[in-house]
Structure 1
Amino acid sequence: MTTILFALAAYLIGSISFAVVVSKGFGIADPRTYGSKNPGATNVLRSGNKAAALLTLFGDGFKGWLAVWLAQRFGPQYGLDDTGVALVAVAVFLGHLWPVFFRFVGGKGVATALGVLLAINGWLGLATLVTWLVIAYAFRYSSLAALIASIFAPFYYGLLFGTDALLLAVLVMSGLLIYRHRQNIANLMAGKESRIGSKKKT
């Protein structure tokens, strides 16, 4: 029962779509109506409002970190083990992808996944972030950077900690992240993918 409650709370935390909330607060268009129509920081950046994009990035990353940190900090006293923490990690990620508060239309999970990884271990999150930054800087494609980073994340975890329930959680998140980028993969192959910083078409 404890594991279910922690996982449910994590899912609800993940269901807060900061791209939509922040955009509304800044008085800019709903990110689900322009660009890639993805409620995420990269698409919010296409509005031209960098502050909104940064707040979205921080919010989506923070909620992933928060859910896992709460499970690690308070879970053990209620009998939550590493498997339970792994379920919480997946639950907050699922909340972002399919948020109950926004008719199950969510983002692709890059920032939230990073927040989860940082909560699991700072070095794991940092290694994954550096991978994203290197690819993004070299090629200027956020989606490509996310795909490469998601592939490397499980390998980083395995090298640092070996095989356990949290590795399975990282693998699940990586698989779902790649799945959510399937249109981006098609666009990359067709040479139609938007680069970082490109604004929405009017």
Structure 2
Amino acid sequence: MYTILFAIAAYLIGSLSFAVVVSKLFGLADPRTYGSKNPGATNVLRSGNKKAAALTLIGDGFKGWLAVWLAIRFGPRFGVEDSGIALVVVGVFLGHLWPVFFRFVGGKGVATALGILLALNGWLGLATLVTWLVIAYAFRYSSLAALVAAVFAPFYYGLLFGSTDGILLAIVAMSILLIYRHRKNIGNLLAGKESRIGDKKKAQK
């Protein structure tokens, strides 16, 4: 019973779309109406407001971290075991992708996934972040960096803990969902049409 409650709470936390909330606070256009129409930090950056983009990135990462940290910290006293933590991981991530508060139109999950991994294990999150940074620096494609990091995250978890458990399966599910959400980017990468980091694009208002 408590495991389900923690998972539902995680989904609701994940449903807080910081891209939309921060844009509204800064008087910016709804990120779902311009650019890639993705409510995430990268699209908010297209508005030209770096502070809003940074706050979006931090907020999306923090909510992933918070939901999992709360489950790890307080879950055991309510009988929430590793399988319950795995449900929380999936719950908060699904909340970000399909937020109930914003008509189920969410982001692609990169920052939220990083927050989740950092909460599970600092080294796990750091290794995944370094992977993203290396690929992003080498190829200047944010989407490619996210895809490679998503593939390596489950591998890093297995390397750190050396076991197959519910949490590993949750990370695999999260990686698959993240790759799925980047399907348009994959098409653009294959066609050579994907925008590089640093390319200047004006928001389409």
TM-score by length of 2: 0.96
Counterpart secondary structure, 1:108: coil
Structure 2 vs 1, CA of residues 134 and 13 (structure 1 numbering), >3 Å: closer, same or farther?
same
Amino acid at match of 1:89: V
Any conservation in 1 of the 2:47–2:203 contact (CA below 8 Å)? no
Counterpart secondary structure, 2:77: helix
Deviation readout 1:31-62 (Å, 9 max, x if unpaired): 11111110001111111111011000000000
- Distance (whole Å) between structure 1 residues aligned to residue 5 and residue 137 of structure 2: 40
Structure 1 residue 199 displacement after superposition: 2.4
- Distance (whole Å) between structure 1 residues aligned to residue 67 and residue 158 of structure 2: 22
Equivalence map 1:9-158=2 (5 Å): 9-158=9-158
Counterpart secondary structure, 1:200: coil
Counterpart secondary structure, 1:29: coil
Counterpart secondary structure, 1:75: helix
Any conservation in 2 of the 1:15–1:92 contact (CA below 8 Å)? yes
What RMSD in Å do the two structures reach over aligned CA positions?
A: 0.9
- Distance (whole Å) between structure 2 residues aligned to residue 48 and residue 91 of structure 1: 32
Structure 2 vs 1, CA of residues 154 and 146 (structure 1 numbering), >3 Å: closer, same or farther?
same
> 4+ runs of 1 displaced by more than 2 Å?
196-202
Any conservation in 2 of the 1:48–1:199 contact (CA below 8 Å)? no
Structure 1 residue 201 displacement after superposition: 4.9
Amino acid at match of 1:192: K
TM-score by length of 1: 0.98
- Distance (whole Å) between structure 1 residues aligned to residue 133 and residue 63 of structure 2: 21
- Number of equivalent positions: 202
In percent, how many aligned pairs have the same letter? 83
Structure 2 vs 1, CA of residues 79 and 119 (structure 1 numbering), >3 Å: closer, same or farther?
same
- Distance (whole Å) between structure 1 residues aligned to residue 167 and residue 43 of structure 2: 30
Any conservation in 2 of the 1:16–1:99 contact (CA below 8 Å)? yes
